[in-house]
Amino acid sequence: MTDLFAARSQMAMSLAFHIVFSIVGMGMPLLMVIAEGWWLRTGDVAARALAHRWAKGTAIMFAVGAVSGTVLSFELGLLWPTFMQFAGPIVGMPFSLEGFAFFFEAIFLGVYFYGWDRVKPVVHWVSGIGVWLSGMISGVFVVSANAWMNTPVGFAVDDATGEVTVDPVAAMFNPAFPSEALHMSMAALVSVGFLVAGIHAWYLLRTPASRFHERGLAVALGVAIVTGLLQPLTGHVAAEHIATHQPVKLAAAEALWETTPRAPLVVGGWPDAQAEHTTLALEIPGALSLLAFGDLDAPVQGLKATPPEDRPPVAVVHAAYQVMLGLGMAMAGTSVLTALLWIRRRRVPTDPWVLRLLVLLAPAGVIAVEAGWTVTEVGRQPWVVQGVMRTADAVTPMPGIAVTFAVYSLLYLVLGTMTVLLLRRQFHHAPDDAALEAEP
């Protein structure tokens, strides 16, 4: 294992671990706020119990996410010092603002978690809104820094002196920022919605009369339906941006080798980088041109227009893109189906087959987010900053990265196991109707 591969693997593992806590921090507080608002409006104690339990789960995820996020900040400097030396002054503003948002989130979460029956109910509910908004803003600032790596602007390098002039505002609001922030924000909400809906669906299959889990399913599924229907639209906006600003990434995602008008949408298949051909793929003629540029006859750049040394690992990007797209469409279809059932019956659907479907799709959003970030990061390779700095030039010269990779892998395994066990304790024993009245 080369040091470059070990550094990339360690960073990939850290990002894959931390992003789960990030999306929970962006999405879970919304469920808390809706549940508590339900209680304030109707006096439903089951909804209050939900908000209380969900707050405990959110606090657990926040604490572990703070640890993994701190590790990530150190890894940026330790593994990629050349990148940080160059990019630090450029993307420092969104990272600093993310820190402010994180601290605001911690303050609001403290008020929400310890303020039950200590502050006015409306004030407590507003503090929950503060947790949600701070979590969303925190995630958006991090996405801004990543978007800059995809479309680097806001700086100029003096060829004679090497001095870098920085426009931090232009860098933060770079061309990729709007589409990435929108797509990621919606992805966080739909992922949490389906995950939590699946958990309560699982318990409803075992205890069909549980008012606690029925209310939990109603709130989570409501969020999942709305965001599941909107997410394909945000994905389309992101794809249009990539087609214009990162055509190589789009070509890799679609395993498109030839630059061609009426470019087909490639479904499935396995790309062979040596033969520059994709086998066993279903092609929909003209669909990619239409989706990317709104014109069936628009030409789409293929991978052969780029030298092989400047192409990303096509098989990895294409496979991840197919997983993301497939799961996204599955969640969108389920959103349509459950919305129709809900409207027709005027109550949340709790048929056993619906509950089993939701259990099956519980991890779909999280997996889709992981796959989407694989497309974003691996699809930019071999560049750490698109067209400016190669990943191989940014890695630390320090040897022995494989050792730290092994140590961090063990650390994340322990943290992940502890988190699952702690969360399971929060929801494994749901209060019955009598216990709901005594819920703190």
The string of pLDDT tens digits covering residues 158-185 is 777 777 888 999 999 999 999 999 999 9
| Res 292: pLDDT | 86
The string of pLDDT tens digits covering residues 65-121 is 888 888 888 888 889 999 998 998 898 899 889 989 989 999 999 999 888 888 899
Degrees to nearest 5, angle at CA 187 with 366 and 278: 75
Query: 7 and 123, same structural domain?
Result: yes
Average pLDDT of the residues in 267-292: 88
416: burial class by Cβ within 10 Å (0-12, 13-18, 19+)?
middle
User: Per-residue DSSP letters for 128-156?
Assistant: HHHHHHHHHHHHHHHHHHHHHHHS--SEE
Domain presence at residue 103: yes
| Res 429: pLDDT | 64
Q: Which residues pair with 155 in a beta bridge?
A: 166
Rg over alpha carbons for the chain, rounded to the nearest Å, is 23
| Res 432: pLDDT | 59
User: Can you say whether residue 418 is alpha, beta or left, with left for phi > 0 and alpha for psi between -120 and 50 degrees?
Assistant: alpha
Q: Which residue has the higher pLDDT, 377 or 398?
A: 377
Domain presence at residue 338: yes
Degrees to nearest 5, angle at CA 332 with 177 and 56: 75
Query: 406 and 375, same structural domain?
Result: no
User: Has residue 347 got a pLDDT over 80?
Assistant: yes
Q: DSSP code of 413? A: H
Annotate the chain with three-state secondary structure.
Answer: CCHHHHHHHHHHHHHHHHHHHHHHHHHHHHHHHHHHHHHHHHCCHHHHHHHHHHHHHHHHHHHHHHHHHHHHHHHHHHHCHHHHHHHHHHHHHHHHHHHHHHHHHHHHHHHHHHCCCCCCHHHHHHHHHHHHHHHHHHHHHHHHHHHHHHCCCCEEECCCCCCEEECHHHHHCCCCHHHHHHHHHHHHHHHHHHHHHHHHHHHHHHCCCCHHHHHHHHHHHHHHHHHHHHHHHHHHHHHHHHHHHCHHHHHHHHCCCCCECCCCEEEEEEEECCCCEEEEEEEECCHHHHHHHCCCCCCECCHHHCCHHHCCCHHHHHHHHHHHHHHHHHHHHHHHHHHHHHHHHCCCCCCHHHHHHHHHHCCHHHHHHHHHHHHHHHCCCCEEECCCEEHHHHCCCCCCHHHHHHHHHHHHHHHHHHHHHHHHHHHCCCCCHHHHCCCC
Q: For the chain, give the percent of residues with pLDDT over 90.
A: 56
Q: Residue 18: phi, psi to the nearest 5?
A: -70, -30
| Res 221: pLDDT | 96
CB 145 within 8 A of CB 84: no
| Res 132: pLDDT | 95
- Domain tally for the chain? 2
| Res 228: pLDDT | 94
Query: 157 and 89, same structural domain?
Result: yes
Task: Give me the domain span that covers residue 128.
Answer: 1-174+398-428
Query: 235 and 127, same structural domain?
Result: no
Domain presence at residue 48: yes
Average pLDDT of the residues in 408-435: 76
Domain presence at residue 435: no
Q: Which residues pair with 300 in a beta bridge?
A: 260
pTM equals 0.92
Domain presence at residue 440: no
| Res 71: pLDDT | 84
User: Has residue 437 got a pLDDT over 60?
Assistant: no
| Res 438: pLDDT | 53
29-33, 178-182, 226-230, 420-424, range with the lowest pLDDT: 420-424
Average pLDDT of the residues in 382-394: 93
Query: 213 and 147, same structural domain?
Result: no
User: Has residue 359 got a pLDDT over 90?
Assistant: yes
Query: 217 and 164, same structural domain?
Result: no
Q: Which residue has the higher pLDDT, 121 or 424?
A: 121
User: Has residue 331 got a pLDDT over 70?
Assistant: yes
Query: 159 and 45, same structural domain?
Result: yes
Query: 285 and 229, same structural domain?
Result: yes
How high does pLDDT run on average in the chain?
Answer: 90
Tokens in use for 410?
A: 């063990």
Domain presence at residue 193: no
Helix and strand numbers, DSSP H then E, in the chain:
15, 6
The string of pLDDT tens digits covering residues 291-325 is 888 888 889 999 999 999 999 999 999 999 999 99
Query: 152 and 101, same structural domain?
Result: yes
User: Has residue 152 got a pLDDT over 60?
Assistant: yes
Query: 239 and 121, same structural domain?
Result: no
Query: 361 and 267, same structural domain?
Result: yes
Domain presence at residue 436: no
Domain presence at residue 433: no
The string of pLDDT tens digits covering residues 406-415 is 888 888 888 8
CB 186 within 8 A of CB 153: no
Query: 419 and 349, same structural domain?
Result: no
| Res 407: pLDDT | 86
